[in-house]
Chain A
Amino acid sequence: MVRAVSDARLLARALADPASIVGLDADGWTRLLTMARAEQLIGTLAMRLDGLPMPDAVNAILADARSAAEHGRRAALWEAEMARRALFAVDCPVILLKGTAFVAAGLSAGQGRSIGDLDILVPRASLDAVEAALLAAGWEWVKPDPYDDVYYRRWMHELPPLIHRDRDRMIDVHHTILPLTARITPNAAALIDEAWALGNGLSVLSPENMVVHAAAHLLADGDLAGGLRNLWDIDRLCRQFSDEDPDFYLTVMEAGHRHGLWNEVGRALRLANQIFGTPVKAYHSPITVKWDERPKDRWFRRRITARDGWGRPTRPITGLAFYVRSHWLRMPPAMLARHLWTKWRKA
């Protein structure tokens, strides 16, 4: 029998070690599937468990999830192609980010992954031209609020979200990977210079920068909602890239250092190792990289696995602490006060 686990470690274990599902009873399956849906990992789980023995009802649910993921993959690639065509005349690199990049590059991190918006990275100098080209090709503003609009343009790492009027799909146009107000300023020009061309006019971040971006997204921006999926991305990317480059963990830590994200990349990889068993490798030269657990890792794990078998978020106090942390990371205190005051008056 499988020992009852009451949080999302049940899901993490099924993803990392699919054979662990052997012995799940009907309640266990129900909890697992519900958690996976809530964490937007049902398609990923379905790909991981494909072919294993399981009840027919579960098999049918996971088959649905696989076909939904396949449809989502096709739609995401089509959306990327639409953006490529719209931006063809703008003379700048267009770099796919996150899920769309994973499926466009054929990475294992893309297998079954749910993909929502299209995220792209372009040079900041080209932002106006990109915006104009997208508007001309049928994308429209989502947020009509003037405060939000100015806020995005002055302080964020992306344009206000645009939605396509016919296809009803959102695009997030980034010019760097963290808000401009954040304490850390990654080197956006280097991310763009080092990008890998896919050969169809679109690019993806280099392997180490993909992991740096995922770590920044997980730990330096936001309250870790949906963190399990981000961490799974990191696990898949690292496993694949370290197979291809034995010193990938060295490369990725050096990249983290260059972007001011040494601590975040280190913590993300430690958490991936602790939760998914990602095979990290220690170094003593040319730099020292150690993977021993740090005291605070436990709090991040508590946050990332805060989900019950009904799909509900749990541990509200931990969640609140990470919510406060996210704003603290995102902007200086005086600015935060001004921002919350404006938002509160409008609410």
Chain B
Amino acid sequence: MRHDFSVRIGPVGFRIGSDWRAPITELESLYRDYPKPHDGVADFTVRLFARRSWRRIIRPSVEIGGDYMLPEAAPLPLRQGLLAAEMAMNLQMALGARRYLLLHASAVERDGRALLMTGISGAGKSTLATLLAARGWRFMGDEFALLDPATGLIHAFPRLISLKNEAIAAAESAWPDARMGPLLPATPKGDIRHMVPDTRAITAMDTPALPALLVFPRYGFEPETRPVPPAEAFVRMTQASTNYVALGEAGFRALTGLIADVPSVAIDYPDGASAIEQVEALWSAL
């Protein structure tokens, strides 16, 4: 394709091709501290392209393609090209990843052990991960935690942090020095701004961590902490994994192993400060 860029995020290499220069320039800038794919061979290819050649120029509209595609993916305007690239990369992971069980969870690490946070969109898993990272935890990822069925270890996938709506201001005040992508107003998911994870998250991204705690946060309630029974945690995690079914027996073993080894706790929280307090209390009681 006319313009292209390769990057490795955690163990996964991507090659992004584009009909336009602009999204590639943004990716080059935001991912400048990341390494290239192992051996120069990307695991996944992503394409940002114009359906008709004139749509490169007139009302340019970015179609999303790649190794794995959804038939109904809607195109985005060119100014949201960075978002299109990120969506396409996530899609490759969600549909194509086989080496790891993909958990739709954010992850942070301390002392070699990982804290996983999972929940529906809006539960606060991204926000909590960035807040914890600001307090000394190592950020491992805000979208996917990669569970290796062979070792039971969590591998980091610290892609750009996709901040939405009010989370943008919260993260900007927690990380005043962070590098930010352009503000993308009025995307299909609201206002979005991408934040580069801190240097430590990137330099340590090849170091996996042993999972130690699985948290199901819920925002907007009085503080409460309760254990989640293993059967419920297992079922909720099957729903939070995009490739659980595709992995077959390996996925089942990996997930039952995780649930058996790691306590599962649901926390309700009214605000970030309270959540941090609850999580730190759980962690020190492990």
Contact = CB atoms under 8 A, between A and B. Distances in A.
Interface in A54-83: 55-58, 60-61, 64-65, 67-68, 71, 74-75
A61 B47 contact: no
Nearest to A34: B45
A57 B40 CA distance: 8
A57 B1 contact: no
A30 B40 CA distance: 8
Interface in A16-51: 25-27, 29-30, 33-34, 37-38
A310 B45 contact: yes
A26 B66 contact: no
Contacts of A25: 40
B247 interface: yes
Interface residues of B, number: 24
A64 B98 contact: yes
B17 A64 contact: no
Contacts of A319: none
A79 B79 CA distance: 45
B176 interface: no
Nearest to A312: B47
A260 interface: no
A311 B46 CA distance: 10
A26 B246 contact: no
Contacts of A29: 41
A71 B246 contact: yes
Q: Is the interface of A mostly helix, strand, loop or mixed?
A: helix
A311 B49 CA distance: 12
Nearest to B49: A312
A68 B39 contact: no
A61 B45 contact: no
A64 B246 contact: no
Interface in B52-76: 65-68
A61 B41 contact: yes
Most chain A CB within a 10 A radius of its CB, from B43, B45, B67, B246: B45
A311 B43 contact: no
Contacts of A33: 41
A12 B68 CA distance: 21
B67 A30 contact: no
B15 A67 contact: no
Interface string B25-40: 0000000000001111
Interface string B96-112: 00110000000000000
A29 B42 CA distance: 9
A311 B16 CA distance: 12
Interface in B1-30: 1, 13, 15, 17
B47 A68 contact: no
B47 A57 contact: no
Nearest to A60: B99
A207 to B, nearest CB: 31
A311 B41 contact: no
Nearest to A63: B99
Contact of B45 (A26, A75, A311): A311
B149 to A, nearest CB: 10
Interface in A263-293: none
Contacts of B99: 60, 64
Contacts of B136: none
20 contacts: A27-B40, A29-B41, A30-B15, A30-B45, A34-B67, A37-B68, A38-B67, A55-B38, A56-B39, A57-B39, A58-B39, A60-B99, A61-B41, A68-B98, A68-B246, A71-B246, A310-B45, A310-B47, A311-B65, A312-B49
Given A34-B45, A64-B99, 18 more contacts: A26-B39, A27-B40, A30-B15, A30-B40, A30-B41, A30-B42, A33-B41, A55-B39, A55-B40, A56-B39, A57-B38, A57-B40, A68-B98, A68-B246, A311-B45, A311-B65, A311-B67, A312-B47
Interface of B: 1, 13, 15, 17, 37-43, 45, 47, 49, 65-68, 98-99, 246-248, 250
* CB-based closest 3 A-B pairs: A26-B40, A57-B39, A55-B39
